Amino acid sequence: MVDFDKYKIILASQSPRRKLLLEGMGFKFEVIHADIEEVFPENLKITEVPVYLAQKKAESLTNLLKDNVLLITADTIVSVDNLILGKPKDADEASHILQLISGRSHNVITGVCIKTLNKERTFYAESKVYFRTLTDEEISYYIRNYKPFDKAGAYGIQEWIGYIGIERIEGSYFNVMGLPTQMLYNEISKF
C-alpha cells in the first residue's frame, strides 16, 4: 500500500477530472498549473506525444521539487486514423471532431510523468473507445449544453454524450477521463 503521507504531492493540471480522480484515490495534494506551449516534435509516435508533453510540464516545474515533493503531470490526446484531435476552439470545430469519431473507434492516450528530486518515471495508458453513430441533433445538443472546449476529442466520457454514445471501451475508463489511476497508483508505490 502506498504511504500517502510520505510526500507532499503536487498535481500540475487544470483538469477538474484529474483532481477528482486523484482525490478518489485517497491522496492529499496541491493543485497548480503548468503553463507550457503544447507543441511537440513531428517525428514522435502518437503514443509518445502525451508522454513528451507530460514530461515537458514536469520540467517546467522542477523549481518546486524539494526532498519530500512528488510532482504529477499528465497530458491526454485523442487520435483517429493517426491524426491527433486536440481541444476544439469553438462549436464548429467541436462538431467536426465529434462527427469524425461518430460511428467508429478512436484511441485515448494519457501520458504521465511522476517526478521527485532524485527520480522520474514516465508512462502512458491507451484505451480504445467505440462510439455509435451520433445524429447531428445529438452533437449540437451536447456542444450547446456541455461546451466541451477544454476536452481533447471534444467530449467527456463522464458527461451526457458518454452515457448515450459510447458502445464499449477497451482499456481503462479512468484513462479516458484523463488519468490512468491504477497505473498511477502502481508507479507511485515504487517511489
Structural domains of the chain in order of their starting residue, each with its CATH number: 8-189 (3.90.950.10)
The pLDDT assigned to 142 comes to 98
Q: Which of 67, 75, 92, 150 is catalytic?
A: 75
Q: How far is it, in rounded angstroms, from Cα 11 to Cα 74?
A: 9
Q: How far is it, in rounded angstroms, from Cα 75 to Cα 188?
A: 17
150 is a catalytic site residue: no
DSSP E strands, the chain: 8-12, 29-32, 69-80, 83-85, 105-115, 120-131, 166-170
The 3-state DSSP class for residue 126 equals strand
pLDDT in tens, the chain (191 residues): 666 678 899 999 989 999 999 999 999 999 998 888 888 999 999 999 999 999 999 999 999 999 899 999 999 999 999 899 989 999 999 999 999 999 999 999 999 999 999 999 999 999 999 999 999 999 999 999 999 998 999 999 999 999 999 999 999 999 999 999 999 999 998 88
Q: How far is it, in rounded angstroms, from Cα 44 to Cα 51?
A: 10
Q: Which three three-digit cell numbers place residue 169?
A: 471501451
